[in-house]
Structure 1
Amino acid sequence: MASPLPKDPSARLLRDLTHSLPMALLRTREAVVHRFREVLSRHGLTEQQWRILRALEGREGLEVSQLAEQCRILLPSMTGILRRMEQRGLVRRSANRADGRSILVALTEESQALVEEIKPEIVAVYAEIEQILGKRKLEQLYALLEELESGLQGEQP
């Protein structure tokens, strides 16, 4: 016997969990990040550490809260990650000359060399993704994701 339809019409629009947008995005994120994790783990880095290195690359430094925002890492977590990275010699922290109340984080020479060493492997992962989707579809994917994010945040496209 079939179960009765819900009285609330909006409940009928709820997709099966395996076909929901959040689950599709999570599965895809895990598949993509898995490829990058393979590279990063060979170099003793986490995803979060790599995001920090990439955000700092080519810059004199960033204020900790700016770095946390750009890398999408919560500030309390960022503090611990930066402490471990500093102990490993990957970042250095210094007082912000423009604003003595804040701390700037910058790459060390060691981490700059590490980024240069890892780049070709990361580029190869991007090439694999582009080969799967093609350049046009990959650019469309970026555009659609940005449009969705902006729309959900109430921004104009």
Structure 2
Amino acid sequence: MTTLPPDAARLLRDLTHSLPMALLRTREAVVQRFRKVLSRHRLTEQQWRVMRALDGKEGLEISLLAEQCRILLPSMSGILRRMEQRGLVQRRANQADGRSVCVALTPAAQALVERIKPEVVAVYAEIEQLLGKEKLELLYALLEELEQGLSQGGS
């Protein structure tokens, strides 16, 4: 753990300039663009994450799917139940490990993903136009570097 000087509290950034708040505001601005697309198709952000993770795959084990989508397992259970009721996913026993369950997109869900992709690509193009390709790639690289550094840093 880093040792801070006794007057470190006064070095604390204003809330509007704190990294967590900047990331939250930016996330919300970005996600809002995608929400507009998803709401037209009656999908939540979490459902779209699940569909993106399963797109082009035979299926994924539920805990791996939850990890990839950054969704807690208890929440994932409810999301999958609602998606299953809507005919978007199907569950089946994992062939490699009969104790676990895999989830896959239904043909209807795969067709929906294909219909939504151009709209999502258009949102990405809008973001790229705002920042420019080089800055956007730099942003991805910096975010990944920060995530890896904090993950490896422990506590």
Q: Does 1:61 align with 2:72?
A: no
Deviating beyond 2 angstroms after TM superposition, the runs of 4 or more aligned structure 1 residues are none
CA distance in 2, matches of 1:12, 1:150: 28
Q: Which has the larger radius of gyration?
A: 1
Structure 2's unaligned 5+ residue stretches are none
Calculate the TM-score normalised by the size of structure 2: 0.94
Partner of 1:25: 23
CA distance in 1, matches of 2:143, 2:96: 36
Structure 1's unaligned 5+ residue stretches are 1-6
Task: State the SS of the aligned residue for 1:153.
Answer: helix
Matching residue's letter, 2:138: Q
- Which of 131, 138, 144 aligns to 1:140? It is 138
Task: State the SS of the aligned residue for 1:99.
Answer: coil
Calculate the TM-score normalised by the size of structure 1: 0.93
Partner of 2:40: 42
Partner of 2:112: 114
CA distance in 2, matches of 1:139, 1:67: 26
Partner of 2:72: 74
Matching residue's letter, 2:8: S
Seq. identity, %: 79
Task: State the SS of the aligned residue for 2:71.
Answer: coil
Equivalent pairs counted in the alignment come to 149
